[in-house]
Amino acid sequence: MKKISILSGILVLAVAAFSGCAKKEAAPAEAEAAYETVLNVAVTQESPSLDLHKNSSLIARQIASGTIWEKLVTLNAASEVVPELAERFEMSGDGTAFTFYLRQGVKFHDGQIMDADDVTASMNRWIEGFSVAKEIAGQARFEKLDDLTVRIQFDHPAVTFPDVVAGAAQPASITTRESAADEDERGFVKEYIGTGPFKFAEWKLSQYILLEKFADYVPYGDPSKPIDGWAGYKAPKVEQIYFYLVPQSSTRMAGLETGQFHVDYNVVDETLSRLSSLNDIEIVRYQAGTLAYVFNKKQGVGKNLYFRQAVNAAAHDDDILRATYGSLYDLGSSYMDDTQPYWKSEAGSQNYNNKDPEKAKALLQQAGYNGEPFRILVANLNNMDRGALVLEQHLKAVGINVELIVVDWATLTQYRTDPSRFDLYVTSFASVPVPSLKLYFGPSYPGWSEDETLQRYFADFNGATNREEARKRWDILQGYSWEYLPLINVGHYIAAFAWSKKVENVTVYNGVYFWNTSVKK
């Protein structure tokens, strides 16, 4: 994997960075005259890695999921589990065993043909690196039945396991058995060798990530039909995709207007009205996830249940959301988003957005609170620090001694693993297809939800033998969560993306993807 360090920390976005991009061999004359061969995308942050097994960063998924990496199964637009690298899969009658039959002739980016050894190595590495999958799997791991068949056998029902494989925030990406075993000092894979329609080419730190069309990509699905959710026939139309790091929203907007960028991956409220007024720009919005204030329940003041309830009672969630997202938010107590209507729940809603300072003061007395510092860890990313300033005002008004710790996102992801550094941290969680994938229910996830009752309810949910029973158990789990408060589910954020109308065939489903995208000149 090629990473090039730069001497300066200053973001380089000069025009030369675009005009100097090397392009592949020219297409036929008519097509070359009509369409661009390069797609330029502006993104807001840099991921620590594109290894999705051990990295829950949203930007890593936006760049690499379905593009570099593919999975055994994925989701269609109705959030149904459908085959991708598997030709088909079967569940045993009792919901404890799953068998996946692999597609033949699928090529990796290094030219190797995918087989069961690659899949078992990849899937078992994913289970080890992804806390939710590990909690569900227990001691179960994938095994090879023959060169094109793999199976996993649980000691309990796990009817939502295919949903987890298909839609996890740490995707169950398939790589070669050699790459799965070759990790750097941080535990990330050294080489990004997938099966997707684009392959990794270059990472110039603090500037861009470059992907190139994989000429030997083996597609699946019906070429006469459009992409359905994340599933279907992928036929890359551009030769290269540049993902430029552009933290400043005004710079992304200006670049979109001038044609420097074709796509802005994160339209913020401050630029929304301007971009909406431009006839040659298309904007897409959807409810994309939740803003979350995660308590440290291992040590410090956040370990006390009454203190957590006091913070929740004092918070004005609508004020926090407005400060963070402007107009791009929805109030709502459901842990699941509108994109997953089957799992939307009102359980526990009586404890949402109370805005009750007197209740908060009474709970602080029950907690025995004596003015200890309450350390809020927040990144200066996507206005999350603005929302934290509003929460600080709410909490100081009821007598809580707040200490804000504002850092960059990479530092926050490091600090939140150390319970001595914070009492609450601010983050967001993208939409997931099933509640099993809510990372914060895992006892080892930063925040440490080790409560026995919570873990029992979570295990009951994962052990349901059918979806109807799982839905009832989800109500119980969410209702208890609004009492126990592993976090404050502040509300739902709206993702907004913008691109030039010269850009065609963008896939929009819990993100935007460019598998079949073309760009008119």
Say which residues have a Cβ less than 8 Å from residue 179's Cβ, sequence separation at least 6: 189, 190, 191, 193
Picking from 18-32, 356-370, 454-468, 485-499, which range would have the lowest pLDDT averaged per residue? 18-32
What's the CATH code, domain 3-8+37-69+179-269+503-519?
A: 3.40.190.10
Among 74-78, 409-413, 417-421, the range of highest mean pLDDT: 417-421
The structure tokens listed for 90 are 């079967």
Strands 401-407 and 208-213: unpaired
Mean pLDDT of 271-283: 92
Question: What CATH number was assigned to the domain covering residues 73-177?
Answer: 3.90.76.10
Q: DSSP letters of 286-302?
A: EEEEEEEEEE--SSSGG
Among 130-139, 307-316, 341-350, 489-498, the range scoring the smallest mean pLDDT is 130-139
Ranges of CATH 3.90.76.10 domains, the chain: 73-177
| pLDDT score recorded for residue 33 | 62
pLDDT at 179 over 50: yes
8 Å CB contact between 422 and 409: no
User: In 3-state terms, what secondary structure has residue 431?
Assistant: coil
Instruction: Output the average pLDDT for the chain.
Output: 91
Rounded CA separation 191/50 (Å): 9
Residue 153 and residue 97: Cα distance in Å, rounded? 4
Among candidate residues 401, 310, 302, the one with its CA nearest the CA of residue 364: 310
Q: Among residues of the chain, what percentage have pLDDT more than 70?
A: 94
Pair 203, 3: CB distance under 8 Å: yes
Residues pairing with 499 in the sheet: 263, 282
How confident is residue 23, by pLDDT bands cut at 50, 70 and 90?
very low
Residue from 510, 500, 372 nearest 36 by CA: 500
- Count the Cβ atoms, other than its own, within 10 Å of residue 349: 14
Of the candidates 285, 347, 273, the residue with the CA atom closest to the CA atom of residue 493 = 285
Q: Where in the chain is the domain with CATH 3.40.190.10?
A: 3-8+37-69+179-269+503-519
496 forms beta bridges with 285
Instruction: Tell me what pLDDT residue 8 has.
Output: 36
Rounded CA-CA distance 488/295 in Å is 8
What DSSP letter does each residue of 396-428 carry, written as one string? HHTT-EEEEEEE-HHHHHHHTT-TTS-SEEEEE
pLDDT band (50, 70, 90) for residue 318: very high
Rounded average pLDDT over 157-169: 91
User: What mean pLDDT comes out for the span 273-288?
Assistant: 92
Whole-number Å distance between alpha carbons of 366 and 505: 57
> Quick one: pLDDT at residue 56?
79
Backbone angles phi, psi at 82, to 5 degrees: -135, 155
Q: Burial code of 25-53, b = ≥16 C-beta within 10 A, e = fewer?
A: eeeeeeeeeebbbbbbbbbbbbbbbbbbb
CA distance 156 to 463: 6
pLDDT in tens, 323-363: 999 999 999 999 999 888 889 999 999 999 999 999 999 99
Beta partners for residue 99, in sequence order: 90, 151
**Residue-level pLDDT at 12:** 37
Number of residues that this document lists for the chain? 521
CATH number of 287-495: 3.10.105.10
Percent of the chain residues topping a pLDDT of 90:
79
Higher pLDDT, 268 or 29: 268
Which pLDDT tens digit goes with each residue over 108-127?
Answer: 999 999 999 999 999 999 99
Query: Which pLDDT score is estimated for 351?
Result: 98
**For residue 374, pLDDT beyond 60:** yes
Q: Please state the rounded mean pLDDT for residues 382-401.
A: 96
Pairing of strands 3-4, 198-204: parallel
The mean per-residue pLDDT over the stretch 125-141 comes to 92
**Tokens at 265, concatenated:** 């991956």
Q: What's the whole-number mean pLDDT along residues 161-183? A: 95
Confidence (pLDDT) at 131: 84
CB distance 328 to 457 below 8 Å: no
pLDDT of residue 10 exceeding 70: no
The pLDDT value recorded for residue 434 is 86
* Helix, strand, or coil (residue 183): strand
